[in-house]
Chain A
Amino acid sequence: MKSAMRSEISKKLVVVNQLGIHARPAAVIVKAMQKYDAHVYLIYNGHRRNAKSVLQVLSLGAPKDAEITAVASGPDAESAIEELSKIFEGGFGEE
Protein backbone atom coordinates (compact mmCIF):
# COMPACT_ATOMS: atom_id res chain seq x y z
CA MET A 1 0.00 0.00 0.00
CA LYS A 2 2.70 2.45 0.99
CA SER A 3 4.74 1.81 -2.14
CA ALA A 4 1.63 2.55 -4.21
CA MET A 5 1.23 5.86 -2.36
CA ARG A 6 4.82 6.76 -3.11
CA SER A 7 4.35 6.15 -6.80
CA GLU A 8 2.15 9.25 -6.97
CA ILE A 9 3.57 11.76 -9.44
CA SER A 10 2.43 15.22 -10.41
CA LYS A 11 3.06 17.77 -13.13
CA LYS A 12 1.98 21.35 -13.85
CA LEU A 13 0.13 21.75 -17.16
CA VAL A 14 -1.09 24.86 -18.97
CA VAL A 15 -4.24 25.18 -21.08
CA VAL A 16 -3.10 26.71 -24.38
CA ASN A 17 -6.16 26.60 -26.65
CA GLN A 18 -8.45 29.64 -27.07
CA LEU A 19 -11.65 28.10 -25.71
CA GLY A 20 -10.15 26.31 -22.72
CA ILE A 21 -11.45 22.93 -21.57
CA HIS A 22 -14.95 22.71 -23.06
CA ALA A 23 -16.77 19.48 -23.93
CA ARG A 24 -14.57 18.34 -26.81
CA PRO A 25 -11.21 18.80 -25.01
CA ALA A 26 -12.74 17.11 -21.95
CA ALA A 27 -13.65 14.13 -24.15
CA VAL A 28 -10.12 14.09 -25.60
CA ILE A 29 -8.63 13.97 -22.08
CA VAL A 30 -11.00 11.26 -20.85
CA LYS A 31 -10.60 9.14 -23.98
CA ALA A 32 -6.81 9.17 -23.48
CA MET A 33 -6.82 8.61 -19.71
CA GLN A 34 -9.40 5.82 -19.49
CA LYS A 35 -6.98 3.30 -20.98
CA TYR A 36 -4.60 3.61 -18.02
CA ASP A 37 -4.99 1.69 -14.79
CA ALA A 38 -3.58 4.65 -12.86
CA HIS A 39 -5.83 7.06 -10.98
CA VAL A 40 -5.45 10.44 -12.66
CA TYR A 41 -6.69 13.72 -11.16
CA LEU A 42 -6.65 17.30 -12.37
CA ILE A 43 -6.43 20.08 -9.77
CA TYR A 44 -7.42 23.65 -10.57
CA ASN A 45 -8.51 26.49 -8.25
CA GLY A 46 -8.48 24.06 -5.35
CA HIS A 47 -10.86 21.66 -7.12
CA ARG A 48 -9.68 18.09 -7.59
CA ARG A 49 -11.39 16.21 -10.41
CA ASN A 50 -11.20 12.69 -11.87
CA ALA A 51 -9.60 12.80 -15.34
CA LYS A 52 -11.61 9.78 -16.48
CA SER A 53 -15.01 11.45 -16.28
CA VAL A 54 -16.14 14.00 -18.87
CA LEU A 55 -18.43 15.88 -16.50
CA GLN A 56 -15.78 16.01 -13.77
CA VAL A 57 -13.14 17.38 -16.13
CA LEU A 58 -15.61 19.89 -17.53
CA SER A 59 -16.56 21.10 -14.08
CA LEU A 60 -13.03 22.46 -13.62
CA GLY A 61 -14.11 25.28 -15.90
CA ALA A 62 -10.49 25.80 -16.93
CA PRO A 63 -10.05 28.65 -19.48
CA LYS A 64 -7.04 29.50 -21.67
CA ASP A 65 -3.79 29.98 -19.67
CA ALA A 66 -5.21 28.10 -16.69
CA GLU A 67 -2.51 26.27 -14.72
CA ILE A 68 -3.57 22.78 -13.83
CA THR A 69 -1.80 20.25 -11.67
CA ALA A 70 -2.12 16.69 -12.89
CA VAL A 71 -1.67 13.97 -10.28
CA ALA A 72 -1.43 10.29 -11.10
CA SER A 73 -0.86 7.19 -9.00
CA GLY A 74 -0.65 3.57 -9.98
CA PRO A 75 1.51 1.27 -12.07
CA ASP A 76 1.31 3.24 -15.33
CA ALA A 77 1.09 6.71 -13.76
CA GLU A 78 4.19 7.94 -15.51
CA SER A 79 3.02 7.17 -19.03
CA ALA A 80 -0.43 8.60 -18.24
CA ILE A 81 1.09 11.93 -17.18
CA GLU A 82 3.38 11.87 -20.20
CA GLU A 83 0.47 11.48 -22.62
CA LEU A 84 -1.60 14.02 -20.72
CA SER A 85 1.07 16.68 -20.98
CA LYS A 86 1.41 16.06 -24.74
CA ILE A 87 -2.35 16.52 -25.09
CA PHE A 88 -2.25 19.82 -23.17
CA GLU A 89 0.76 21.07 -25.19
CA GLY A 90 -1.08 20.28 -28.41
CA GLY A 91 -4.04 22.41 -27.26
CA PHE A 92 -6.31 19.35 -27.54
CA GLY A 93 -5.94 19.61 -31.30
CA GLU A 94 -7.49 23.09 -31.27
CA GLU A 95 -6.14 26.58 -31.88
Chain B
Amino acid sequence: MEKSKLAPYLGDKPNKISSLPVAEIFKDPICNELNLKLIAGFQGTNRKIYTADINRPGLALTGYLEYFANDRIQVMGNTEINYLRKLTSSNVEARLVSIFSFEVPAFLLSRGLEPPQVFLDVCNRHGVPVIQSTLSTDQVISRVILYLAEKFSPKATIHGTAVDCFGVGVLLVGKSGVGKSETALELVERGHRLVGDDVIVLKKAIEEAIIMEPNPEFEHYMHIRGIGMVDVFAVYGAGHIRRKKELGLIVELVETKRRGAIDNLDELLKGWPNENLLDVKIPFLRIPVGPGRNTAVIVESAALKCRLKELGIDIDKVFAEKSIGRMLNNS
Protein backbone atom coordinates (compact mmCIF):
# COMPACT_ATOMS: atom_id res chain seq x y z
CA MET B 1 0.00 0.00 0.00
CA GLU B 2 1.31 3.43 -0.92
CA LYS B 3 2.06 5.53 2.12
CA SER B 4 -0.27 8.45 2.55
CA LYS B 5 1.27 11.86 2.04
CA LEU B 6 -0.81 12.96 5.01
CA ALA B 7 0.60 10.40 7.45
CA PRO B 8 3.16 12.84 8.97
CA TYR B 9 0.39 15.30 9.86
CA LEU B 10 -2.21 12.96 11.33
CA GLY B 11 -2.39 13.09 15.12
CA ASP B 12 -4.07 10.25 16.95
CA LYS B 13 -5.12 7.34 14.77
CA PRO B 14 -8.58 7.58 13.22
CA ASN B 15 -11.04 6.20 15.75
CA LYS B 16 -14.72 5.91 16.37
CA ILE B 17 -16.95 5.20 19.32
CA SER B 18 -18.92 1.96 19.37
CA SER B 19 -21.69 2.97 21.76
CA LEU B 20 -23.36 6.09 23.15
CA PRO B 21 -25.11 6.30 26.55
CA VAL B 22 -28.60 7.80 26.28
CA ALA B 23 -27.64 10.48 28.84
CA GLU B 24 -25.17 11.96 26.30
CA ILE B 25 -28.05 13.09 24.08
CA PHE B 26 -29.16 15.51 26.79
CA LYS B 27 -25.72 17.15 26.90
CA ASP B 28 -25.66 17.97 23.18
CA PRO B 29 -27.34 20.79 21.23
CA ILE B 30 -29.79 18.31 19.73
CA CYS B 31 -31.54 18.26 23.12
CA ASN B 32 -32.66 21.87 22.59
CA GLU B 33 -33.24 21.50 18.86
CA LEU B 34 -35.67 18.66 19.39
CA ASN B 35 -37.04 20.05 22.66
CA LEU B 36 -36.31 16.80 24.45
CA LYS B 37 -37.83 15.90 27.81
CA LEU B 38 -37.23 12.76 29.81
CA ILE B 39 -40.67 11.62 31.07
CA ALA B 40 -39.94 8.13 32.43
CA GLY B 41 -37.21 5.58 33.03
CA PHE B 42 -34.87 8.09 34.67
CA GLN B 43 -32.62 5.43 36.17
CA GLY B 44 -31.95 3.91 32.72
CA THR B 45 -30.13 6.81 31.09
CA ASN B 46 -26.85 4.86 31.14
CA ARG B 47 -28.35 2.43 28.58
CA LYS B 48 -26.37 2.42 25.38
CA ILE B 49 -27.17 3.10 21.75
CA TYR B 50 -25.13 1.00 19.32
CA THR B 51 -26.14 2.14 15.84
CA ALA B 52 -27.00 5.36 14.05
CA ASP B 53 -30.28 3.96 12.80
CA ILE B 54 -33.69 4.20 14.44
CA ASN B 55 -36.56 1.72 14.62
CA ARG B 56 -40.34 2.15 14.52
CA PRO B 57 -41.51 -0.50 17.03
CA GLY B 58 -45.05 -0.89 15.62
CA LEU B 59 -44.70 -4.55 14.76
CA ALA B 60 -42.87 -5.30 18.01
CA LEU B 61 -45.83 -3.79 19.94
CA THR B 62 -48.19 -6.17 18.16
CA GLY B 63 -46.08 -9.02 19.54
CA TYR B 64 -43.99 -9.86 16.46
CA LEU B 65 -40.46 -9.97 17.82
CA GLU B 66 -38.50 -11.82 15.16
CA TYR B 67 -36.07 -9.44 13.48
CA PHE B 68 -36.71 -6.83 16.19
CA ALA B 69 -34.04 -4.12 15.81
CA ASN B 70 -33.83 -3.72 19.58
CA ASP B 71 -30.42 -2.01 19.76
CA ARG B 72 -31.75 1.18 18.14
CA ILE B 73 -33.68 4.12 19.51
CA GLN B 74 -37.37 3.23 19.25
CA VAL B 75 -39.24 6.16 17.68
CA MET B 76 -42.98 6.24 18.34
CA GLY B 77 -45.40 8.50 16.48
CA ASN B 78 -49.18 8.76 16.19
CA THR B 79 -49.47 5.23 14.79
CA GLU B 80 -47.81 3.50 17.73
CA ILE B 81 -49.42 5.64 20.43
CA ASN B 82 -52.93 5.28 19.01
CA TYR B 83 -52.41 1.55 18.73
CA LEU B 84 -51.31 1.39 22.39
CA ARG B 85 -54.43 3.36 23.42
CA LYS B 86 -56.63 0.68 21.86
CA LEU B 87 -55.01 -2.06 23.99
CA THR B 88 -56.06 -2.95 27.53
CA SER B 89 -53.59 -2.03 30.26
CA SER B 90 -52.67 -5.66 30.92
CA ASN B 91 -52.02 -6.15 27.19
CA VAL B 92 -49.74 -3.10 27.02
CA GLU B 93 -47.84 -4.42 30.00
CA ALA B 94 -47.50 -7.92 28.54
CA ARG B 95 -46.26 -6.64 25.14
CA LEU B 96 -43.73 -4.30 26.77
CA VAL B 97 -42.41 -7.01 29.07
CA SER B 98 -41.74 -9.27 26.09
CA ILE B 99 -40.07 -6.38 24.27
CA PHE B 100 -37.91 -5.83 27.36
CA SER B 101 -36.56 -9.36 27.11
CA PHE B 102 -34.33 -7.57 24.59
CA GLU B 103 -31.97 -4.72 25.47
CA VAL B 104 -33.72 -1.52 24.32
CA PRO B 105 -31.85 1.83 24.64
CA ALA B 106 -34.84 4.21 24.81
CA PHE B 107 -38.24 5.19 23.45
CA LEU B 108 -38.51 8.53 21.68
CA LEU B 109 -41.98 10.01 21.27
CA SER B 110 -42.67 12.70 18.67
CA ARG B 111 -45.29 15.51 18.62
CA GLY B 112 -45.31 15.68 22.44
CA LEU B 113 -47.43 12.55 22.45
CA GLU B 114 -48.61 11.20 25.81
CA PRO B 115 -48.55 7.40 26.04
CA PRO B 116 -50.97 5.51 28.34
CA GLN B 117 -49.96 5.67 32.01
CA VAL B 118 -49.31 1.90 32.11
CA PHE B 119 -46.63 2.35 29.39
CA LEU B 120 -44.77 4.87 31.56
CA ASP B 121 -45.16 2.68 34.66
CA VAL B 122 -43.68 -0.40 32.96
CA CYS B 123 -40.81 1.66 31.50
CA ASN B 124 -40.10 3.11 34.96
CA ARG B 125 -40.09 -0.35 36.48
CA HIS B 126 -37.66 -1.70 33.83
CA GLY B 127 -35.54 1.46 33.71
CA VAL B 128 -36.08 2.16 30.03
CA PRO B 129 -35.90 5.91 29.30
CA VAL B 130 -38.95 7.47 27.59
CA ILE B 131 -38.09 10.73 25.84
CA GLN B 132 -40.55 13.20 24.43
CA SER B 133 -39.98 15.66 21.59
CA THR B 134 -42.35 18.38 20.38
CA LEU B 135 -41.24 17.99 16.76
CA SER B 136 -43.01 15.95 14.09
CA THR B 137 -42.07 12.31 13.57
CA ASP B 138 -40.20 12.84 10.28
CA GLN B 139 -38.21 15.73 11.79
CA VAL B 140 -37.32 13.65 14.84
CA ILE B 141 -36.24 10.70 12.71
CA SER B 142 -34.07 12.65 10.28
CA ARG B 143 -32.39 14.75 12.95
CA VAL B 144 -31.72 11.84 15.28
CA ILE B 145 -30.19 9.81 12.44
CA LEU B 146 -27.95 12.74 11.43
CA TYR B 147 -26.94 13.32 15.04
CA LEU B 148 -26.13 9.68 15.69
CA ALA B 149 -24.35 9.27 12.34
CA GLU B 150 -22.06 12.11 13.31
CA LYS B 151 -21.50 10.63 16.79
CA PHE B 152 -20.63 7.21 15.35
CA SER B 153 -18.55 8.57 12.46
CA PRO B 154 -14.79 7.96 12.28
CA LYS B 155 -12.76 10.86 13.63
CA ALA B 156 -9.16 11.97 13.39
CA THR B 157 -7.14 15.02 14.25
CA ILE B 158 -4.64 16.55 11.89
CA HIS B 159 -1.90 19.11 12.28
CA GLY B 160 -2.98 21.85 9.91
CA THR B 161 -4.97 25.02 9.40
CA ALA B 162 -8.47 25.10 7.94
CA VAL B 163 -9.97 28.00 5.99
CA ASP B 164 -13.19 28.44 4.06
CA CYS B 165 -11.88 30.05 0.88
CA PHE B 166 -14.53 31.07 -1.69
CA GLY B 167 -16.78 28.38 -0.24
CA VAL B 168 -14.15 25.65 -0.60
CA GLY B 169 -12.95 24.09 2.65
CA VAL B 170 -9.17 24.26 2.35
CA LEU B 171 -6.91 22.35 4.74
CA LEU B 172 -3.33 23.68 4.81
CA VAL B 173 -0.72 21.17 5.95
CA GLY B 174 3.06 21.31 6.07
CA LYS B 175 6.02 21.23 8.40
CA SER B 176 6.03 23.49 11.44
CA GLY B 177 7.17 26.98 10.53
CA VAL B 178 6.42 26.62 6.82
CA GLY B 179 3.77 29.36 7.08
CA LYS B 180 0.38 27.67 7.43
CA SER B 181 -0.92 30.13 10.01
CA GLU B 182 0.54 33.18 8.25
CA THR B 183 -1.07 32.08 5.00
CA ALA B 184 -4.39 31.56 6.78
CA LEU B 185 -4.13 34.97 8.43
CA GLU B 186 -3.62 36.61 5.06
CA LEU B 187 -6.59 34.68 3.68
CA VAL B 188 -8.68 35.97 6.60
CA GLU B 189 -7.44 39.51 5.82
CA ARG B 190 -8.60 38.98 2.26
CA GLY B 191 -12.11 38.20 3.48
CA HIS B 192 -12.08 34.43 3.88
CA ARG B 193 -13.09 32.55 7.01
CA LEU B 194 -10.96 30.68 9.50
CA VAL B 195 -12.23 27.30 10.68
CA GLY B 196 -9.33 26.46 12.95
CA ASP B 197 -5.60 26.61 13.43
CA ASP B 198 -3.01 23.97 14.30
CA VAL B 199 -5.31 21.20 15.54
CA ILE B 200 -8.19 20.34 13.23
CA VAL B 201 -10.76 17.71 14.09
CA LEU B 202 -11.88 15.69 11.08
CA LYS B 203 -15.16 13.80 11.08
CA LYS B 204 -16.39 11.56 8.32
CA ALA B 205 -20.00 12.54 7.85
CA ILE B 206 -22.56 10.33 6.18
CA GLU B 207 -21.99 10.22 2.44
CA GLU B 208 -18.43 10.52 1.32
CA ALA B 209 -17.52 13.80 2.98
CA ILE B 210 -15.21 14.98 5.74
CA ILE B 211 -16.19 17.80 8.08
CA MET B 212 -13.44 19.97 9.57
CA GLU B 213 -13.89 21.53 13.00
CA PRO B 214 -11.57 23.56 15.23
CA ASN B 215 -10.16 22.22 18.46
CA PRO B 216 -13.18 22.93 20.73
CA GLU B 217 -11.17 24.49 23.56
CA PHE B 218 -9.26 26.95 21.39
CA GLU B 219 -11.74 27.78 18.66
CA HIS B 220 -10.48 30.49 16.30
CA TYR B 221 -7.27 31.23 18.14
CA MET B 222 -4.18 31.31 15.96
CA HIS B 223 -0.60 31.22 17.02
CA ILE B 224 1.49 33.58 14.92
CA ARG B 225 5.26 33.43 15.35
CA GLY B 226 6.63 36.61 16.85
CA ILE B 227 3.35 38.02 18.15
CA GLY B 228 1.74 35.10 19.95
CA MET B 229 -1.97 34.33 20.08
CA VAL B 230 -4.48 36.05 17.80
CA ASP B 231 -8.21 35.63 18.46
CA VAL B 232 -9.61 35.86 14.94
CA PHE B 233 -13.17 36.18 16.22
CA ALA B 234 -12.28 39.15 18.47
CA VAL B 235 -9.97 40.85 15.97
CA TYR B 236 -11.77 40.26 12.67
CA GLY B 237 -15.31 39.52 13.77
CA ALA B 238 -18.00 36.93 13.22
CA GLY B 239 -17.84 37.29 9.44
CA HIS B 240 -14.35 35.82 9.39
CA ILE B 241 -14.89 32.57 11.23
CA ARG B 242 -16.73 29.30 10.74
CA ARG B 243 -17.39 26.50 13.19
CA LYS B 244 -17.38 23.72 10.64
CA LYS B 245 -16.75 23.27 6.95
CA GLU B 246 -16.67 20.37 4.56
CA LEU B 247 -13.15 19.55 3.39
CA GLY B 248 -12.77 20.25 -0.33
CA LEU B 249 -9.04 20.63 -0.92
CA ILE B 250 -5.83 19.76 0.87
CA VAL B 251 -2.85 22.00 0.19
CA GLU B 252 0.59 20.96 1.36
CA LEU B 253 3.01 23.86 1.68
CA VAL B 254 6.54 22.74 0.84
CA GLU B 255 9.63 24.81 1.43
CA THR B 256 11.95 24.95 -1.58
CA LYS B 257 15.55 26.06 -1.49
CA ARG B 258 16.02 26.11 -5.27
CA ARG B 259 15.16 29.18 -7.25
CA GLY B 260 13.17 27.26 -9.82
CA ALA B 261 10.86 25.18 -7.69
CA ILE B 262 10.29 21.58 -8.67
CA ASP B 263 6.76 21.02 -9.86
CA ASN B 264 5.59 17.48 -10.48
CA LEU B 265 3.12 18.78 -13.09
CA ASP B 266 0.73 16.02 -12.08
CA GLU B 267 -2.31 18.09 -13.00
CA LEU B 268 -1.25 18.06 -16.65
CA LEU B 269 0.29 14.59 -16.68
CA LYS B 270 -2.15 12.50 -14.63
CA GLY B 271 -5.10 14.71 -13.79
CA TRP B 272 -5.74 16.36 -10.46
CA PRO B 273 -4.18 14.21 -7.70
CA ASN B 274 -6.19 12.91 -4.75
CA GLU B 275 -5.23 11.66 -1.32
CA ASN B 276 -7.14 9.26 0.88
CA LEU B 277 -8.28 10.63 4.21
CA LEU B 278 -10.59 8.51 6.39
CA ASP B 279 -11.24 6.52 3.19
CA VAL B 280 -12.51 9.59 1.33
CA LYS B 281 -10.70 10.84 -1.78
CA ILE B 282 -9.79 14.52 -1.41
CA PRO B 283 -8.02 16.69 -4.02
CA PHE B 284 -4.43 17.23 -2.92
CA LEU B 285 -2.03 19.90 -4.15
CA ARG B 286 1.57 20.62 -3.23
CA ILE B 287 2.54 24.29 -3.35
CA PRO B 288 6.15 25.48 -3.08
CA VAL B 289 6.66 28.31 -0.64
CA GLY B 290 9.59 30.61 -0.04
CA PRO B 291 10.56 34.21 0.57
CA GLY B 292 8.72 36.62 -1.68
CA ARG B 293 6.05 34.15 -2.71
CA ASN B 294 2.46 35.11 -2.03
CA THR B 295 1.09 31.80 -0.84
CA ALA B 296 -2.37 33.15 0.03
CA VAL B 297 -2.99 34.23 -3.56
CA ILE B 298 -1.92 30.79 -4.82
CA VAL B 299 -4.26 29.10 -2.34
CA GLU B 300 -7.11 31.35 -3.49
CA SER B 301 -6.43 30.42 -7.06
CA ALA B 302 -6.32 26.72 -6.16
CA ALA B 303 -9.63 27.03 -4.32
CA LEU B 304 -11.24 28.71 -7.33
CA LYS B 305 -9.90 25.98 -9.60
CA CYS B 306 -11.38 23.44 -7.23
CA ARG B 307 -14.71 25.22 -7.30
CA LEU B 308 -14.76 25.27 -11.09
CA LYS B 309 -14.02 21.56 -11.03
CA GLU B 310 -17.03 20.99 -8.78
CA LEU B 311 -19.07 22.87 -11.35
CA GLY B 312 -17.84 20.50 -14.04
CA ILE B 313 -15.05 22.60 -15.52
CA ASP B 314 -11.63 20.97 -15.29
CA ILE B 315 -9.25 23.68 -16.48
CA ASP B 316 -6.28 21.35 -16.94
CA LYS B 317 -8.36 18.97 -19.01
CA VAL B 318 -9.78 21.78 -21.14
CA PHE B 319 -6.28 23.12 -21.70
CA ALA B 320 -4.90 19.69 -22.64
CA GLU B 321 -7.73 19.11 -25.11
CA LYS B 322 -7.24 22.55 -26.61
CA SER B 323 -3.55 21.88 -27.12
CA ILE B 324 -4.30 18.57 -28.86
CA GLY B 325 -6.92 20.26 -31.02
CA ARG B 326 -4.36 22.82 -32.12
CA MET B 327 -1.88 20.12 -33.13
CA LEU B 328 -4.56 18.28 -35.12
CA ASN B 329 -5.43 21.48 -36.98
CA ASN B 330 -1.77 22.18 -37.78
CA SER B 331 -0.94 18.79 -39.24
Q: Do A and B bind each other?
A: yes
The residues of A with any CB-CB pair to B shorter than 8 Å are 19-24, 26-28, 30-31, 34-35, 52, 54, 58, 61, 63-64
Say if the beta carbon of B90 comes within 8 Å of chain A: no
Say if the beta carbon of B7 comes within 8 Å of chain A: no
**Contact call A61/B269, Cβ cutoff below 8 A:** no
How many pairs of A and B residues are in contact by the CB < 8 Å rule? Answer: 48
Q: For A22, give its contact among B260, B264, B269, B320 (CB under 8 Å).
A: B320
For residue A15, which residue of chain B has the nearest CB? B327
Given the complex, which residues of A lie within 8 Å of B268, measured CB to CB? 23-24, 26-27, 54
The answer for the CA separation of A27 and B330 in the assembled complex, in Å, is 20
Contact A31-B264, Cβ < 8 Å, known A23-B320, A24-B320: yes
Contact A35-B262, Cβ < 8 Å, known A19-B327, A23-B323, A64-B331: yes
Say if the beta carbon of B229 comes within 8 Å of chain A: no
Say if the beta carbon of B328 comes within 8 Å of chain A: yes
Q: Which residues of B from 246 to 294 have beta carbons under 8 Å from A?
A: 260, 262-265, 268-269
Q: Which residues of B from 280 to 331 have beta carbons under 8 Å from A?
A: 319-320, 322-324, 326-328, 330-331
**Contact call A22/B263, Cβ cutoff below 8 A:** no
B120 CB, min distance to chain A CBs, angstroms: 71
The answer for the CA separation of A23 and B319 in the assembled complex, in Å, is 7
The 3 A-B residue pairs whose C-beta atoms are closest, nearest first, are A23-B323, A27-B268, A22-B323
Mind listing 29 A-B residue pairs with CB under 8 Å? A19-B327, A19-B328, A20-B330, A20-B331, A21-B327, A22-B324, A22-B326, A22-B327, A23-B268, A23-B319, A23-B320, A23-B322, A23-B324, A24-B269, A24-B320, A26-B323, A27-B269, A28-B269, A30-B265, A31-B263, A31-B269, A34-B263, A35-B262, A52-B260, A54-B268, A58-B323, A61-B326, A61-B330, A63-B327
A69 CB, min distance to chain B CBs, angstroms: 19
**Contact call A20/B269, Cβ cutoff below 8 A:** no
**By the criterion of a CB under 8 Å from any partner CB, how many residues of chain B are at the interface?**
17
The answer for the CA separation of A48 and B268 in the assembled complex, in Å, is 23
- Name the residue in B264, B268, B319, B327 with the highest tally of chain A Cβ atoms < 10 Å from its Cβ: B327
Given the complex, which residues of B lie within 8 Å of A64, measured CB to CB? 331
Given the complex, which residues of B lie within 8 Å of A20, measured CB to CB? 327, 330-331
Given the complex, which residues of A lie within 8 Å of B327, measured CB to CB? 19-22, 61, 63
Given the complex, which residues of B lie within 8 Å of A27, measured CB to CB? 265, 268-269
The answer for the CA separation of A21 and B323 in the assembled complex, in Å, is 9
Given the complex, which residues of B lie within 8 Å of A58, measured CB to CB? 323
**Contact call A63/B319, Cβ cutoff below 8 A:** no
The answer for the CA separation of A93 and B79 in the assembled complex, in Å, is 67
B175 CB, min distance to chain A CBs, angstroms: 22
**Contact call A54/B265, Cβ cutoff below 8 A:** yes
B259 CB, min distance to chain A CBs, angstroms: 9
Given the complex, which residues of B lie within 8 Å of A31, measured CB to CB? 263-265, 269
A22 CB, min distance to chain B CBs, angstroms: 4
Given the complex, which residues of A lie within 8 Å of B262, measured CB to CB? 34-35
A94 CB, min distance to chain B CBs, angstroms: 11
The answer for the CA separation of A63 and B327 in the assembled complex, in Å, is 6
Given the complex, which residues of A lie within 8 Å of B319, measured CB to CB? 23
Given the complex, which residues of B lie within 8 Å of A34, measured CB to CB? 260, 262-263
B291 CB, min distance to chain A CBs, angstroms: 20
The answer for the CA separation of A63 and B323 in the assembled complex, in Å, is 11
The answer for the CA separation of A28 and B322 in the assembled complex, in Å, is 17
B245 CB, min distance to chain A CBs, angstroms: 32
A52 CB, min distance to chain B CBs, angstroms: 6
